[in-house]
Amino acid sequence: MTQAVRRISLAVACLAAGALLVAGGARFWRSIGRHRPSGPQQVSLEKQDDWQAFGGTWQYADGVMRNNSDERGAKLMTGSTELSDYSVEADVLLLGQYGDAGLIIRASDEEEGVDAYHGYMAGLRDLDNTLLLGRADYGWREYIARTVLPRVYAQQWYHVKVLAVGCDFAISATAGNGATTAAAIEDPGCIRSGRFGLKSYNTGAQWRNVEIRPASQEDLQAMIGNVRPPIAVPVQFPTGVEPAPYDKYFEPIQRDLAEHRTDVSAQPISSLRLLSPNATTTVTVHGAVTLTSPVLFIQDSTGGLAIPSSHPHAPLLIGDEIEAKGDAELNDFSSQLHNADVRLLWSHTPVPPVAVTASQAATGSFDAEYVEIEGRLVDKRQDGDRGIVLMLSEGSQDFLALATQTGTATQFQHLKVRSRLRLRGICVVDSHYTHDLTPFAIFLPSFNDIEVMAGPPWWSAGHIIALVMGTLVLILIGLTCYILIERWRMQAVLEERERLAHEMHDTLAQSFAGIGFQLEAIRDELGETADILPQIDLAQEMVHNSHQEARRSIAAMRPDHLEAVGLAGALREAAARMVAGGSTVVVRVNSSGSERAIPLRVSDTLLRIGHEAIANAVRHAHPAYIDVSLRFYSGGVEMIVADDGSGFELTDGLEGFGIRGMHKRADSIGARFTVRTAPGQGTAVQVAAPLPPSLLRSSWRRLRFGLLGRKPSYGHPL
Amino acid sequence: MLPCPIAKSTRFGGWHPPIAEGVAVAAALLMAGACAGCRQARPVVAVIPRTCGTALWEPEHAGAASVARTRGLDIYWNAPMSDDDIQTQISLIEKSLDRGYAGIIVAPIETLPMRTPIRRVLARGVPAVVVDTELGIPPGPLLSYVMSDEKAGGRMAARRIGALLGGHGDIAIMGINPPMMSNTARERSFEDTLAKEFPGVHVAARKFGLPSAPEEQQVAEQLLSSGEKIDAIVALSLASTRGAYYALVEFDRERVVKLVGFDQDLIPPIRTGGIDSVVIQNTFAIGRIAMDLMDGEIHGKSGAAEILVQPVLMTRDNVDSPEVRQILNLSWWPTQ
């Protein structure tokens, strides 16, 4: 048994150690497996599930990833943080002025924010015509700003490459005409690993043909030649602070302003509702672009406006400030601008959304405005290539959310019905979008504008059933463990007792026998006339009694014996031993009720109490009969040892006859202990012990049979 | 056997010794695994300006970092990508609380919406330093204020305008933003000083501020095309300064209409004279002082503080002075 316990303990320890080793091994394997890319790899831009966006409005089409937003510091990341020596290259195109765009390497801990990541960024900036490289640690350190000749043009593709080997970094940009600008630095104390991604700042941008490949010193030399890169020194002042030549920072702004004159008669967007509904009025409005596809939406500080048909002079990005001149059309709840001539005025950071409730949005007051709204997902469906449709509910209002992006299958599948979502998008009340099913709908610029605030509530029917089942299983496991432990403990006690019994048999009982033989020999030697014979006889009787007592004790201490003959049998044998040797006491043992297995702990305790009670009767009560009865009832077992002897005066102290010891034993198994006696009326010792419910017991038997490969014992003791 | 008190015990809660041994071994292995990643972390202070990556707010990073390095503190520097995104700024404060940062330094985008988040920060026993505006919550052991002296800035602008116009002329005030107490203080101080010291200068137009430079540009365009005589414009915010300047360039009147702005942003027009001057906040000193106060608050050594930092009038004459270059310094990283 001890070995079984030890085996189980070791198994638990080994399992824990194994789990740790597996976890550690997996991490190690991951680290070596992903230490370097295995070879040149074209990175798929289409599988947007592999990319993680931090700001921006990202869209993939025809092999090109595009950020439609002028947001400052939009990032799209992928790869493992374990990547170390590698290069990333891609074709990059800046969509607007005064910003930069490029590639991030060795990045980690990304968040939304201008420089909210640890890593390096290399790219092109059209404000000062530079190829730049810097390091972000939630703050920007610019190491390289190398002039690109003739200049960095928006709307032109450049091939940008960044390579990292150890703490050496090299960058290059190649224009369409083949002119290449390159630079390199060494950054002591560099970030040595991280994933890679795309980044733009203050302008939209496009990327295509993104490739990652392992890099070595040879690759570095191929880019910059056989020279050591200079130690990186960050610039101290913001762009434009240097005294000369400062023109380069300002020239693009001046150039743009020269063409910038706007129509000063532009109307606030909200004022369009006051136009005559009976005539087409041509109006001019100014506003920031909040959505470009499938419909152009703009917004000023008074409201939002849809421009379903427009003629932009340049590609528009979210955040662009535009001037639109067209025909105002008044609908029931909103206005639109048709046949609009759209002119880009300025690139700007996108407007932040206004947080509204569904009830507020349902009033129509936020029509065509960029809002943030929360709701619980009621239903979802994918509408072919046209995108996804979500049905949400919040308070007393239902509303739709529409997204047109493709390549988001996994993200769509991860959206669970009954989840709580936060959406950022354009609120529209036009029945063209709502189909008059809901008061309003939300146009989502990208799938990344869905944020899961909380998963489905756990109290679904399935979850509750699973929880109940799980709880029951845990209770069963707990109970099983408790019983196992108790059994192991009892077994240990019994083993120790058995060892003591053997010791007593081999030493004490043998000694008593030897002393008896010696006394017998002395008596024989002295003859029948010796004066000392009465003392010798008394000593012989005392030795005999002691020998019998020792045998009884040995028998009581041997659980294997108890197990073999059962409680009733053991009591019968014990009583028979006590009255042997000429006594006229008649012992009657009987058992009634439906016999059940008694746990070892209970049967042992009952046996020892029975021993004591029978011994007391034999020694002190001089009875004619001793009746030992066992009665099994539904909740337990009752043992009564009754005699017709002299009885005694039952006092509160219960000092004599081992009654206190019997009482304590009964308490230890939760049994009720009663003594009924009076002088001349005999004595009855009654013990009623509870037994475990039979269902659990049978389960336990089956479990034990399964676990330990032992046959269940239906006799005594368990 | 590992030197573990549990393993030394012959009895463990009534369990048989081999069970106790097994459990002890497993627990020790688990603890060893868990503690492999244990590291004594330095306290982190979140510094959240109105936005990042601008000439106005990066010096605050540099100032705060210069003090944090000497006090054994780390900085979490992040902000909304746009300086009118109050919701994101509040989210960053909540995130900082959830991460258990030791303190929060914040430059609120708006005054009123920031009251509740800051009260919640203080209720959690986390110290805060509020930069550039007063929230109406009295300073205490866990809350201090560090602000640019907006009244002084208003006086500087008024005296510059008075001097430029020789004490007589018509001006427009742009960028009035009542939700920001600091902006209101600028405006009132400017107008009070102008009325007292230059009664010959007349305020011909007052315009509310709008969040973006393009919108402010439209305001300025309407102003310049209204036919009203305007000799100078005072722009009370960064966006209105930029918008007014763009409109002046657009109408080719930057040499005719003097522009005095607030908050550092465009530097080249100051060299060319397109912008006469800008009242710049010493955000480098603000960052330094804020982090110093925060260190005191974290260690329970700081009392209630409300500190004003003097602004500087940046003109063509002093744009390259050591004083201004120190204010514009953005080297938040350690310099060897």
* pLDDT tens digits, A292-338: 888 899 998 888 999 987 777 677 888 888 889 999 988 777 788 99
A274 part of contact set with chain B, CB < 8 Å: no
Flag whether residue A255 sits within 8 Å of chain B, measured between CB atoms: no
Higher-confidence residue of A718 and A105: namely A105
Q: What is the mean pLDDT of residues A260-280?
A: 78
pLDDT at A92: 96
Residues of chain B in contact with residue A6, where contact means CB-CB under 8 angstroms, are 18
CB hemisphere CA count around A454 (13 angstroms): 8
For residue B181, give every residue at least 6 positions away whose Cβ sits within 8 Å of its Cβ, in sequence order, or none. B111, B133, B134
* pLDDT mean over B317-333: 89
Provide the 3-class DSSP secondary structure of residue A581.
Answer: coil
Kindly report the nearest CA distance between residue A236 and chain B, in angstroms: 5
| pLDDT > 50? residue B109 | yes
Mean pLDDT of chain B: 86
Give me the pLDDT at residue B103, please: 96
Average pLDDT over residues B123-151: 93
Q: Touching check for B136 and chain A: CB below 8 Å?
A: no
Domain ranges of chain A: 1-33, 41-254, 269-346, 354-454, 460-557, 565-718
User: Do A640 and A627 form a contact (C-beta atoms < 8 A)?
Assistant: yes
Q: Tell me the mean pLDDT in the region A401-405.
A: 81
Nearest to A489 among B14, B218, B320 (CB): B14
Contact B22 A372 (CB under 8 A): no
Interface touch B18/A9, C-beta < 8 Å: yes
Whether A348 and B214 have beta carbons less than 8 Å apart is answered as: yes
Which of A5, A97, A264 is the best mutation test for B, with the most CBs of B within 10 A?
A264
Instruction: Return the residue in B2, B16, B240 with the most chain A beta carbons within 10 A, the one to mutate for interface testing.
Output: B16
Phi-psi region of A113 (alpha: psi -120 to 50; beta: other; left: phi over 0): left
Q: Is the pLDDT of residue A496 over 90?
A: no
Cα separation, A632 vs A569, whole angstroms: 15
Most B CBs within 10 A among A97, A262, A302, A318, hence the mutation to make, goes to A262
* Separation between Cα atoms, residue A381 and residue A415, nearest integer Å: 11
Residues 232-271 of B with CB under 8 A from A: 246, 249-251, 266-269, 271
Nearest C-alpha of chain A: how many angstroms from B291?
17
What's the pLDDT score for residue B84?
83
- Residue of chain B minimizing CA distance to A491: B16
Task: Give the pLDDT confidence of A529-568 residue by residue, as tens digits.
Answer: 778 888 888 888 888 878 777 776 776 676 666 777 788 8
Q: What is the pLDDT of residue B6?
A: 31
Res A15 pLDDT > 90:
no
Q: Which of A3-7, A92-96, A162-166, A352-356 has the highest mean pLDDT?
A: A162-166
pLDDT reading at A133 higher than 80: yes
Encoded amino acid at A188, one letter: P
Note the pLDDT of residue A265: 77
Of the candidates A113, A236, A247, the beta carbon closest to that of B329 is on: A236
Highest averaged pLDDT of the listed ranges A18-27, A359-368, B33-42, B57-66 = B57-66
Q: What is the mean pLDDT of residues A515-530?
A: 83
Higher-pLDDT residue of A694 and B311 is B311
Closest partner residue to B268 among A5, A249, A345, by Cβ? A249
Enter the tokens of residue A508.
Answer: 């004490």
Query: What letter does residue A364 receive in the DSSP assignment?
Result: T
CATH number listed for the domain at residues B151-280: 3.40.50.2300
Show residues of chain A in contact with B30, CB under 8 Å: 16, 20
The predicted pLDDT at position A468 comes to: 93
pLDDT for the residue B39: 52
Task: Compute the nearest-CA separation of A375 from chain B (Å).
Answer: 18
Band (pLDDT 50/70/90 cuts) for residue B200 is: very high
What band does A708 get if pLDDT is binned at 50, 70 and 90? very low
Could you identify the residue written with the tokens 């039952």?
Answer: A650
Determine the CATH number of domain A41-254: 2.60.120.560
Residues of A in contact with B29 (CB under 8 A): 13, 16-17, 20
For residue B232, the model assigns a pLDDT of 97
pLDDT averaged over every residue in chain A: 82
Tell me: pLDDT of A456 over 90.
no
Q: Residues of chain A with pLDDT > 90: what percent? A: 31
Name chain A contacts of B271, Cβ cutoff 8 Å.
Answer: 243, 246
> Is B249 in Cβ contact with A321 (below 8 Å)?
no
Domains A269-346 and A354-454 share a fold: yes
Going B78 to B82 to B83 to B89, the CA torsion angle's sign is: negative
Position A700 scores a pLDDT of: 55
Is residue A482's pLDDT more than 50? yes
> Does the CB of A23 have a partner CB in chain B at under 8 Å?
yes
* A549 and chain B in contact, CB less than 8 A: no
Predicted confidence at residue A655, as pLDDT, reads 55
H helices, E strands: number in chain A? 13, 33
Which CATH superfamily includes the segment(s) A354-454? Nucleic acid-binding proteins (2.40.50.140)
Q: Tell me, which fold does domain A269-346 have in CATH?
A: OB fold (Dihydrolipoamide Acetyltransferase, E2P) (2.40.50)
ipTM over 0.95: no
Please state the rounded mean pLDDT for residues A428-442.
86
Distance CA A384, CA A181 (A): 45
Q: For residue A241, name the pLDDT band (cuts at 50, 70, 90).
A: low
Instruction: Return the number of other C-beta atoms located less than 10 Å from residue A586's C-beta.
Output: 13
Check residue A28 and give its pLDDT: 47
Q: What are phi and psi of A133, to 5 degrees?
A: -145, 135
Q: What pLDDT, on the 0 to 100 scale, is given for residue B197?
A: 96
pLDDT for B10: 32
Question: Do A88 and A195 form a contact (C-beta atoms < 8 A)?
Answer: no
- Nearest-Cα distance to chain B for A478, in Å, is 14
Q: What is the pLDDT of residue A256?
A: 61
Architecture of the CATH domain B44-149+282-310: 3-Layer(aba) Sandwich (3.40)
A592 touches chain B (CB under 8 A): no
- For chain B, say whether A259 makes contact (Cβ under 8 Å): no
Of these ranges, A605-619, B172-186, B208-222, the one predicted with the greatest mean pLDDT is B172-186
pLDDT at A54 > cutoff 50: yes
The nearest CA of chain A is from the CA of B268 a distance in Å of 6
Chain B within 8 Å of A71 (Cβ-Cβ)? yes
Residue contact B30–A492, C-beta within 8 A: no
Asked whether the beta carbons of residue A17 and residue B211 sit closer than 8 angstroms, the reply is no
Which ranges in chain B are annotated with CATH 3.40.50.2300? 44-149+282-310, 151-280
The 10s digit of each residue's pLDDT in A575-617 is: 887 777 667 888 888 888 887 778 877 888 888 888 888 888 8
Q: What is the CATH number of domain A565-718?
A: 3.30.565.10
